[in-house]
Structure 1
Amino acid sequence: METTQRAVAQAPAAEEDGSRPSGRRALDDYLLAPFPWYGLDAAFTGPRRLMQVGVSADGTVEHGSLGHGDEPTVRNEFVSGSPEEPRDKFAVVVTVAAHPERRLSDGTGQLEATSVSSAAWLAGVGLLSFSWPLQMDHALRDDWLEQQTETAWVLADDLSGPEWTTLTLPVDGVPSSFHYRESEFGWVLAGTTSRGVHLGAYGRGMSAYGLGFAVVEDLTAYS
């Protein structure tokens, strides 16, 4: 997907010149989206946070992520502590606008159509961004991440393949079918809704089997 990311919750602390977006600015980015945002439903009572939005070349918000639970971190478990050290417990919900292939509003290019595969790929890459194989040093991680990102796209492009199973979870209270897979780094799922968006999600330390999704009525709960 040809979008750029506007980081929110995972960004470093604000620079002295104020170049990083403030909490209000971050929320405004989400409010510009022409589609509803999804998060975990009311059964989840833990912390919620804004993460990042993806925008097209003409500034239209195309997708974004909302975090739930612990703030995910990138770490090498081999060097960060004992094998028994608890891992982060989080789930991130990715909302992707559903649309056909179309031209940019300024006429400078064309955007690819989105699909459930788009949501699966964004979720897969999201999980990878917070993953680090055991005993891998800094010098090798960039190469590993590039290879795994390509693998995530191949997997997302074959949702009927053997790597995926089917999981039924509630969306706005209605049982809905999702494509689901697990790896040593966590889980990824993807599906669609009746509200004109595709849903992706990824997580670690929180079981996907007990989750439910719902439209976010008040984004300030995440800010």
Structure 2
Amino acid sequence: METTSRPTAQNTASDSPAPDVEDSKAAERAEAAARSAADAYARAPFPWYGLDAAFTGQRWLMQVASAADGVVQHGSLGHGDEPSIRTEATALEKERFAVVITVAASPVRRSGDGTGVLDATTASSAAWLAGSGLLAHTWPPQLDHTLRDDWLDQQTETAFELADDLQGPAWSTLSLPVDGEPTTFHYRESEFGWVLAGSTAAGVHIGAYGRGMSAYGLGFFEVRDLGPYV
């Protein structure tokens, strides 16, 4: 006689969490992550900048960077389509986004661990962060995985050199509103998108990068409520 019992459908179902329970836990994790990100931005001792109200698309939080002592130094806010590394040229053409980077203005200072000296932040700092940020979301379609790291290292070094020479021929200037006031930015384009950087009367440096959106029509304002980004 066969004595081995087989699990019934009812028993099998009871071994796994109900779909609504899994959905609820996933929602809780997402909410906790959003709170953690918002808290990181809230710790910054400087104002954040994003696109002004003329932009009506999606907004989202990206990342903040802190020193060894925990003080927030810079961070990014995203607008439009969330960029991703894509190899298809047509996919790159369809992406429409702009990322705004806010960098705290600070003089030459000792590092948080007391072991060295940190350079002063300038508009070049914002330009470097913007240039490297654009590269992080770029993958030329003719490259495979084995070549991309070499390409990225080479292009990152080039971006650093360009950021260190904002008065050079690679850059032009344009005036964009910051809190309604015309502000001069350094601007350059490449086949992968555009980069700009400048300094504000609010004591911060602004960098930005993007593609699919014209930089000439952008305006920046102080973000007093991070709600639309969360």
TM-score with structure 2 setting the length? 0.84
- Report SS of the residue matched to 1:144: helix
1:40 aligns with 2:51: yes
> 5+ unaligned residues in a row in structure 1: which ranges?
1-13
The one of 7, 23, 35 aligned to 2:34: 23
The one of 120, 127, 149 aligned to 2:134: 127
Query: Which of the two has greater helix per residue?
Result: 2
Deviation string, structure 1 residues 155-199 (Cα, Å, up to 9, x no partner): 000001110001110000011100000000000000010111000
The percentage of counterpart residues that share the same residue type is 68
Q: CA deviation at 1:105?
A: 4.4
Distance 1:85 1:220, change over 3 A: closer
Partner of residue 212, structure 2: 205
RMSD: 1.8
> 5+ unaligned residues in a row in structure 2: which ranges?
1-24
Partner of residue 76, structure 2: 65
Deviation string, structure 1 residues 91-141 (Cα, Å, up to 9, x no partner): 000000001111134423322210000000000000000001121000000
TM-score with structure 1 setting the length? 0.86
The one of 192, 214, 226 aligned to 1:185: 192
- Report SS of the residue matched to 1:152: helix
Partner of residue 153, structure 1: 160
Partner of residue 61, structure 2: 50
1:171 aligns with 2:178: yes
State the aligned residue count: 202
Distance 1:182 1:85, change over 3 A: closer
Deviation string, structure 1 residues 12-42 (Cα, Å, up to 9, x no partner): xx99xx7xx7110111000000000000001
Partner of residue 90, structure 1: 97
Task: For 1:98 and 1:64, locate their aligned partners in 2 and report how far apart those are by CA, in whole Å.
Answer: 13
Task: For 1:45 and 1:37, locate their aligned partners in 2 and report how far apart those are by CA, in whole Å.
Answer: 18
Task: For 2:221 and 2:41, locate their aligned partners in 1 and report how far apart those are by CA, in whole Å.
Answer: 16
The one of 106, 131, 149 aligned to 1:99: 106
Q: CA deviation at 1:69?
A: 0.3
- Report SS of the residue matched to 1:195: coil
